[in-house]
Structure 1
Amino acid sequence: MSTVNVWVVSADTRSERRIDPHISVEQLKNKLELITGVPVANQAISILSSLEDRSVVATLDDNLRPVGYYGLRDWHVLKVDDTNPSTSWTGQLTDVTQTDKFELSQEEYANRTDTVLAYKQKNKVGRFAPKSETEEVATAQVDIPIGSRCEVESTEPGLSKRGRVQFVGPTKFGTGGGVWVGVEYDEPMGKNDGSVNGERYFTCRPNFGAFVRPNKIKVGDYPVEELDLDEEEI
């Protein structure tokens, strides 16, 4: 067995990875620091049965042993806990319990005259603009199946933004109308959770969702990328 497919989860991340079971626990920790943000010295790694069954199969407690010694197999979960979160940012980026937020109901927002919404309504911009027959034809011509794997065009050289198509169609945001494609990325490289301005188009984890125009996306056999941080598999 050369590699196994596993889930790697931490307080702030969750992703699919391919692991070489012959590497040591110490080597694994060095790789996972760059993925989870948990420092090597703080990592406590457990193997769970699956995402649904969180029973502990083993604890990776010997840095010198190979990962395969602990019985790691396909679709096990590598759960990475931070034993000293006070020295890192672990969990702090997703914990909003200590943040004071200004809240405004949708009705209160809609009644204000100094908002972006009011401007768009007055000037017939975006979703308030009259829809043309051209836009309706363009919607019908988009052939991007929901559920298909895809790769989204990136402005950063060498960066692949892969994921799965979760939505295709018109939206209430954006100017010019037309079709948008909702993508759930494999990594947290998005801007939302499948909803925009209170309108939900699909559901995914925060910062894993994004909406792009059809010409920015390629549909095909784009597998989840392997963890290849120093030109070797883990």
Structure 2
Amino acid sequence: AHKRYSTGLTITEFKVLLVVGSPASCMDLELYGAEEELLGRLDCDEALLGSYAVADGCRVHVIDQSGTRMGEYEIAKSDYKKRPLQVEKYEITKSDYKKRPGDTSVPWRATSPLPRDASGPKGMSPFHGTRHWAQEAALAVALPLGAHCQVQLLGQPSKLATIMFVGQTHFKLGYWVGVCYDEPLGKHNSSVGSRHYFECQPKYGAFEDGIEDEL
């Protein structure tokens, strides 16, 4: 089946829905037709997707301009997994990661243990427990929006996702991380009650607190 997007989306909103491991702010988009002809660049973030020559069978070519992981990705409408093409994967061992000076969450976690078995105020998850809100805020800052991360919840296999929201919510105390999973393993589309927190497809969104370091 083809992947369809609303032509009423702005290019910025469209970028957020493309889970390719690159932050939306660092994407350059090229539109190709069904015959693989270049139709143009989607270069106006405020423009509507429908203002370009989009049609059934088109595909979008995503170029990562983040500078830290340069590469190109193919997004075919029929490809839900959005597999990267000819991109060298950056890998680092845990021992080398821990040696990096000051730019990871490892030093903070080493000096600020986070008890998962403490019981906190009513409405707060066990993970938040007795942590001070200042500590929660510090942990939240260490998780940049748009980063690809690994979600590890107790008793569940790890899942890959993109960080879409970090902060306080109206439905639970503490700081929470809103994610868009790579696969439909979530709970909703980021809407809780009447509040909509970020853009994602149904069953791809969730608010979690077991976020590992970004990939």
Q: Same fold (TM over 0.5)?
A: no
Question: TM-score category by the smaller chain?
Answer: 0.3 to 0.5
Tell me the TM-score normalized by structure 1. Answer: 0.39
Larger Rg: 1
Relative contact order: is structure 1 or structure 2 higher (C-alpha 8 Å, sep ≥ 6)? 1
Higher helix proportion (structure 1 or 2):
1
